[in-house]
A and B are shown apart, each in its own frame.
Chain A
Amino acid sequence: MSAEFQLKILNTLADDRLQSAVYTATGRLKDRRIENVAADVLPDYQELRSQANAIKKHAIENLDHYLEEFERSVEAHGGKVVWCKDGEEVSDFILGLAKERGSRLIVKSKSMTTEEIDLNERLEHHGLEAVETDLGEYILQLSHEKPYHIVAPALHKTRYDVAEIFTERLKVPEELVIEKQTMIARGVLREKFLAADIGISGANFLVADSGAVVLIENEGNARLTTSAPKIHIAVAGIEKVIPRAQDLATFLKLLARSATGQLLSVYTSFLSGPKRPGEVDGPDEFYVVLIDNGRTRLLPDRGKRQSLYCIRCGACLNTCPVYRKIGGHSFPWVYSGPIGAIITPQFMGVQHEPGLPFASSLCGACGEVCPVKIDIPKVLLELRSDVKKAETRDGQNRLERLGFRAFAWLMTKPRLFEFVGRMAGAMAPATDGRWIRNLPAPMSIGPVSAWLSQRDLPPPPSKSFRELWRRR
């Protein structure tokens, strides 16, 4: 575990206000999900999960086929598909288009994929103004922060934080009423929508048989982003493609329930190309930017490629005892929680933060709530194995390996094992029955002290199991 990861975790754990904000918010989302997938409300929930899993599995296993079909469908309706290997290619395309069209102002709706490639920073670096329009994302853009949560990006902010940010950045008088804060943002952003030349969205789904981008939201900012400006650019990971529009019947029943506990989000937009002849509003130009950015790295591994099934509902974050304690900003990349712990190492390489797959209790809750049935705990275990293999290859864990080899040897010598156990008990610091936080210096070395830095040891029992067994 890197020192940075550890420090962020410790800071979050020490912040009482943050602890309570994250715990309350995720708890509410978690409870609402449970109410809305209950057997008496949605009797076929488990069948829907299986169907969603089967569709995603099929789409990923034939990804090239469906992306090509998607491209043909987009072009048939007058849109264009742009393939990009990384964030630089995405921003090059957008910058080029903006220059050609003389555009300067861009409105954006929420997209984790564009967070992944720091799109706003790239565009702003070249003199474009890119404005986030989802309320939470807008607050974070003003305070220069990354999303705290996949679905609720500003989950860690209070009305007092928002008042401070608005006063400082928007030069408005201090306002502490949440409704009024929301209306301040509405007013500022409304002007942006009406003046913007380009709208950039993400995509919840790409539909191969229709060439459609599907966007799911509650505020209406994604609809405005994709309907008011003359150019709509959707930026989407290649894994978002599903075969048929009819498959949405399955996914839509699962997504909002899993994310926020709504039956459906307020707005689901199914957008297929520029406005058709005769339509009065809608964009003149429609682009879908398909981005790889590390995704193809996951494909060769049959066990782990299921990580690409994710529909970004955030249910695994809300239910995760680790996320709920360490929060979103402790994670090393934009994706947090259990899903972040499995996709970050695969997109960026396990060396990016080797401690990440280990930051889990493996309780299994994430796998249970996943609407597309990703076996997250299993992927975590496989990633742990990858980290250890890499360490062994690089000779980083010699001491740890030596320790385990010695332990294995000791386990085969019952008498010696019992003697060492008794010695260890005698040497352990006296704690009056409390758990041991630290071992005395000679015992607390290398991997042992690293292990103890996050854990306490139970006090040694007065009688060992073997002794009790003999006296039985």
Chain B
Amino acid sequence: MSRENILHRIRTGLGRSAGEPVAPPPPVRLRIPEVEIESRIATMRMRIEALAGKTERTSDPRAVVAAAIEGKTAVAANSPYLAALGITALAGVRSGIVDREELRNLCATVDVGITSADYALADTGTLVMIASPQEQRLISLLPPAHIAIVPRDRILTGLDELFTLVPLPAEGSSSLVLITGPSRTADIEQILVRGVHGPGVITVVIHG
């Protein structure tokens, strides 16, 4: 009822008729600069650290994660990549949970959430997280600390490169999230407080 009314009001207002062809939209604007990988990594680390995030670069993510979660409890995503690295088998780490309630309760009680990231964006210090049966949404959200492991060759220059590689994010996933630094607020007197709802501590481990 309202659907037809609203569409009718729109068409009357614009002087269009139903199904009238549409001129092509302005061409998309995507410019990918040439930046060599070491420089991308340096920029990304600088950006993340400027937001009070931590970065590590290693050929052995398992050792870095093991040191970071020593004596703590953690939940890791069901990602074959994390399993292959041996991270899901570390002491204190739970993984492979496929029940929503169980995952939610666990994420709400552990100290650390461990995920991979599909990509990272150098020029803003951003993690790109695409939800899938292997990567759950709440692991990077409910625990007070988040560790993300990014393979070196997944570090892109920025948004333009991401949307060139992933022009239609909805095709394979219900959720693509960009994470730029720890959760923060400045709603009271503009004083910055980290970890208001999401993780207050974020560590990006660059693999390779």
Contact = CB atoms under 8 A, between A and B. Distances in A.
Nearest to A58: B25
B178 A267 contact: yes
Contacts of A24: 190
Contacts of A157: 188-189
Interface in B129-161: 131-133, 136-138, 141-142, 159-160
A210 B151 CA distance: 27
A159 B13 CA distance: 47
B5 A85 contact: yes
Given A154-B187, A224-B141, A280-B136, A270 B169 contact: yes
A158 B190 CA distance: 10
A153 interface: yes
B177 A270 contact: yes
Interface centre among A153, A157, A209, A223 (most CB of B within 10 A): A223
Interface residues of A, number: 100
Interface stretch (B34-42, B57-65, B84-92, B191-199): B191-199
Contacts of A182: 185, 188, 193, 196
B22 interface: yes
A238 B176 contact: no
Interface string A265-277: 1111111111110
A238 B9 CA distance: 12
B137 A223 contact: yes
A252 B198 CA distance: 21
B7 A67 contact: yes
Contacts of B175: 227, 269-272, 282
Given A210-B169, A280-B103, A296-B9, A219 B176 contact: no
A313 to B, nearest CB: 16
A210 B168 contact: yes
A223 B198 contact: yes
A84 B2 contact: yes
Contacts of A59: 25
Nearest to B29: A51
Nearest to A140: B187
Contacts of A162: 188
Interface centre among A221, A223, A281 (most CB of B within 10 A): A281
B173 A276 contact: yes
Interface in A1-47: 21, 24-25, 28, 44, 47
Nearest to A56: B26
Interface string B105-147: 0001000000000000001111000011100111001100000
Contacts of B31: 44
Contacts, number: 259
A266 B174 contact: no
A355 B167 CA distance: 46
B183 A218 contact: yes
Interface stretch (A243-251, A387-395, A408-416): A243-251
A272 B5 CA distance: 26
Interface centre among A44, A246, A280 (most CB of B within 10 A): A280
A158 B170 CA distance: 42
Interface string B12-45: 1110101010110110111100000000000000
Contact of B133 (A21, A51, A193, A280): A280
Contacts of B168: 209-210, 245
Interface string A135-165: 1100100000000000011110111001000
A437 to B, nearest CB: 36
B155 to A, nearest CB: 16
Nearest to A278: B133
Given A159-B189, A190-B108, A276-B173, A64 B184 contact: no
B190 A28 contact: yes
Contacts of B177: 223, 267-270
A151 to B, nearest CB: 10
Contacts of A267: 177-180, 183, 198
A73 B170 contact: yes
Given A84-B2, A134-B187, A246-B28, A227 B137 contact: yes
A83 interface: yes
B98 interface: yes
Contacts of A300: 12-14
Contact of B193 (A85, A178, A212, A224): A178
Contacts of B14: 61-64, 299-300
Interface string A113-148: 000000000000000000001111001000000000
B169 A245 contact: yes
B78 interface: yes
B97 interface: yes
B188 A220 contact: no
Interface of A: 21, 24-25, 28, 44, 47-48, 51, 54-55, 58-59, 61-65, 67-68, 73, 77, 83-85, 89, 133-136, 139, 152-155, 157-159, 162, 178-179, 181-182, 185-186, 189-190, 193-194, 207, 209-212, 218-221, 223-224, 227-228, 238, 243-250, 252-253, 262-276, 278-282, 286, 290, 292, 296-300
Q: Which 9 A-B pairs have the closest CB atoms?
A: A220-B198, A299-B13, A272-B170, A278-B133, A136-B187, A220-B197, A210-B170, A83-B3, A296-B9
Given A245-B170, A246-B163, A282-B137, 7 more contacts: A68-B7, A212-B169, A268-B177, A281-B138, A282-B174, A290-B6, A292-B6
21 contacts: A77-B174, A133-B197, A135-B196, A159-B188, A194-B108, A207-B170, A223-B197, A224-B141, A245-B168, A248-B163, A249-B163, A252-B159, A264-B180, A267-B178, A270-B175, A273-B174, A275-B174, A276-B172, A279-B132, A280-B98, A292-B6
